Structure 1
Amino acid sequence: MSTLWLLLGVACQYLPPHVFWPAGFVAMSLPGALVLNGFLLVLWLWQRPLWALWPALLIFLFWGQHTRYFTLNTPDAQPEPQDQRISVLSYNVRVFNAYAHLHAKDPGLPERELEWVANHPADILCLQEFYHHPTKAKYNSRKRIGKAQGREVFVDKFLVNKSGAEFGLAIFSRYPIVNKGHVTFDIPTKNQVIFVDVKLPSKDTLRVYNMHLESMAIEQKDVEEAVQSEEGLKTKGRNIARRLKGGFIARSHQLARLLEHMEASSHPVLLCGDLNDLPSSYTYQQLRRRFRNGFEEGGNGFGFTYNGKLPIRIDNQFFSGRLQLLRFDVLEQIRFTDHFPLEATYVLTNP
């Protein structure tokens, strides 16, 4: 049974949820199959050593599935010259906690977060759930993170409210931005993907994408209520499943447009942001088939990026072949929002 579960979970990573939506749920359950297989290995080593050969073989064959969730890496032993390094920060800033309910217990939270982001030394910043208010100095984040710090900026807003506040995605760069735009989805949504082409000191051009794909739209309290009682499972559980299904389908459509756009690029590609999907998902698998993943290549431990009770990794950096990863970190000590920032350093190699 555990073998069948494992094989089905891996197979469902290749099935687009917009074609067969149950595949999204089976793929999501894959970590359970991996844990069960590891448990059987330990159990059978103790009780029936010969039987343990089978789960050991499965672990060997599907080792790449395990390293999506836990990995150990060491920093690059041959550091490149400082002026050739490209430092990157990607972060879901949760509108800088501007709304009262987000900073009710800590009124100074928005200012500390904005100050931390503005003063971060990264050459490129990819920010999701970006917030800017042009008439309020405190939340004039374009200026505070951009011009005041010597960075160029591209912001694509999906909403401007009645007070003039802007919401969307932002990319800040210390390198000149020579081109910019966004990936158009077939179905209008507040979720977006934007890109910029930046001119590096080496005269090469790097394309940087910032993504925020369709949200899971699940509240942590709904999950807690669903597992606390049979009634909660019926009411909240059904609603959670419906939202998950909608997210699987939407992200698979969005991914198709994103991949089409990325593969048409004539420049090396760096993709940052909030994937809103797990490492066992169809979305992650399709990106991983074409690009390398920052956590898998340079991370350590579990690399959870959600700052909450759910131990999940939904924020990522993917990069194409000419980029070499020197360092990758999930900044778990930075707890301003419900996401942890991702910090990485790359160098662009010769063609």
Structure 2
Amino acid sequence: MRRKILSFLTSLSTLWLLVGVACQYVPPHLFWAAGFVAMSLPGALVLNGVLLLLWLWQRPVWALWPALLIFLFWSQHTRYFSLNTPDAQPEPEEQRIKVLSYNVRVFNVYKHLHEADPALPEKEMEWVAEHHADILCLQEFYHDKTDNTYNSRKRIGKQQDREIYVGKALTNKIGAEFGLAIFSRFPIVEKGSVVFDRPTKNQVIYVDVKLPSKDTLRVYNMHLESMAIEEKDVEAAVQSEAGLKTKGRNIARRLKGGFIARSYQVEKLLEHIQASRHPVLLCGDLNDLPSSYTYQKLRGQLQNAFEEGGSGFGFTYNGKLPIRIDNQFYSDRLELLRFDVLDQIQFTDHFPLESTYVLTAPVEEEGN
């Protein structure tokens, strides 16, 4: 009887795994249910691992099947858990490109965000401004030139010898700016934004920076469509049947809308990236999980810094939900030396991502 149950669960986990991986390639704007199936894929990975252990205990020969699935889909596991060590022989200091990507949550300007610690906005601004990064990609950026604390253009830019490009999503009645920002200690020679086909408050901006080597690097800063889900709603949905009915339907509706919006956005973003003449670094808040269509599309063209250089689970959301939604992707000519999720920095609901790259020489074509 016990083996029959294990056999059924093994068949279930195999089907779940295969369908979940397949759904990563299905655009949610064509079939939105694929987004939910892909999102559930970590459950299939965990179940398969548990079955491996149970079969080793019950009948070791049957453990070969879940072991084979782990081998075949190992790249799915490393999206969620990675074990890498920093490069033991880093390139010379002058060749390194140090990058910080961070959702700064409007520097906690609203009272309810800093009520427990009134000094929080100043602490966060000071930490960001004085960070050693050459390039900073900030999401949920905020700037108010009339306020000493929130004069971020001056404090992060001018006072730290960084050039700046801001993609303004909104300017309020007092003239404060909201949006995305890229700060660079390298000269900015070109800048712009990716234009989405559908109306949205979310953005992608880019700059081309001239490196000391005279090479040009294109840096994208993205903040794709938000999940728009509150932790308290998720808690209410799982705590009771009534909560599931009242909150669960709303959560599902918001998730569906996000899947569809991001699937359009990522396709437009990739079109822009593929047209770039320069090597590419893409940073920001993806607002989607590593098993999603959005992530898969980007990973098909670029390398992911956590997978290549991270360690542990790499959760980037500073809350009760253990998820990784902030990322750095990069093209082949960039070599990653180090990548860290700074989970000790807890100013906002996201952790900063810190990395170091070098730009390698282009590969010469045969016959040249």
Deviations 1:212-263 (A, max 9, x none): 0000000000000000110100110000000000000000000111000000
Q: Percentage identity across aligned positions?
A: 81
2:180 paired with 1:175: no
2:356 paired with 1:350: no
**What residue identity is the alignment partner of 1:290?**
Q
Q: 10, 13, 19: which one pairs with 1:2?
A: 13
Structure-2 residue corresponding to 1:189: 200
Runs of 4+ in 1 over 6 A off after TM superposition: none
C-alpha distance in 2 between matches for 1:11 and 1:231: 33
**What residue identity is the alignment partner of 1:332?**
D
Structure-2 residue corresponding to 1:267: 278
Secondary structure (helix, strand or coil) at the match of 1:137 reads: coil
Q: What TM-score does the superposition give when structure 1 sets the normalisation length?
A: 1.00
Structure-2 residue corresponding to 1:139: 150
Deviations 1:268-313 (A, max 9, x none): 0000000000000000001111100000000000000000000000
C-alpha distance in 2 between matches for 1:2 and 1:73: 28
Q: 83, 86, 90: which one pairs with 1:79?
A: 90
Secondary structure (helix, strand or coil) at the match of 1:8 reads: helix
**What residue identity is the alignment partner of 2:90?**
P
Q: 306, 325, 337: which one pairs with 2:348?
A: 337
Instruction: Count the aligned residue pairs.
Output: 351
Secondary structure (helix, strand or coil) at the match of 1:338 reads: coil
C-alpha distance in 1 between matches for 2:144 and 2:291: 38
**What residue identity is the alignment partner of 1:63?**
W
C-alpha distance in 1 between matches for 2:154 and 2:268: 32
Q: 241, 245, 266: which one pairs with 2:252?
A: 241
Q: What TM-score does the superposition give when structure 2 sets the normalisation length?
A: 0.95
Structure-2 residue corresponding to 1:292: 303
Mapping of residues 175-324 of structure 1, within 5 Å:
175-324=186-335
C-alpha distance in 2 between matches for 1:135 and 1:11: 52
C-alpha distance in 2 between matches for 1:85 and 1:166: 31
C-alpha distance in 2 between matches for 1:148 and 1:189: 33
Structure-2 residue corresponding to 1:45: 56
**What residue identity is the alignment partner of 2:122?**
E
Deviation at 1:77, TM superposition (A): 2.3
Deviations 1:329-348 (A, max 9, x none): 00000000000000000000
**What residue identity is the alignment partner of 1:342?**
L
The higher radius of gyration belongs to: 2
Structure-2 residue corresponding to 1:20: 31
Gaps of at least 5 residues in structure 2 are: 1-11, 363-368
Structure-2 residue corresponding to 1:107: 118
2:124 paired with 1:119: no
C-alpha distance in 2 between matches for 1:187 and 1:18: 12
Secondary structure (helix, strand or coil) at the match of 1:290 reads: coil
Deviations 1:166-213 (A, max 9, x none): 100000000000000000011121100000000000000000000000
Deviation at 1:74, TM superposition (A): 1.0
**What residue identity is the alignment partner of 1:48?**
R
C-alpha distance in 1 between matches for 2:197 and 2:297: 19
C-alpha distance in 2 between matches for 1:155 and 1:149: 16
Secondary structure (helix, strand or coil) at the match of 1:138 reads: coil
C-alpha distance in 1 between matches for 2:333 and 2:267: 23
Deviation at 1:150, TM superposition (A): 0.3
**What residue identity is the alignment partner of 2:282?**
L
Deviation at 1:78, TM superposition (A): 2.2
C-alpha distance in 2 between matches for 1:281 and 1:12: 8
C-alpha distance in 1 between matches for 2:229 and 2:269: 24
**What is the RMSD computed on CA atoms of the aligned residues?**
0.5
C-alpha distance in 1 between matches for 2:174 and 2:249: 37
Gaps of at least 5 residues in structure 1 are: none
Secondary structure (helix, strand or coil) at the match of 1:135 reads: coil
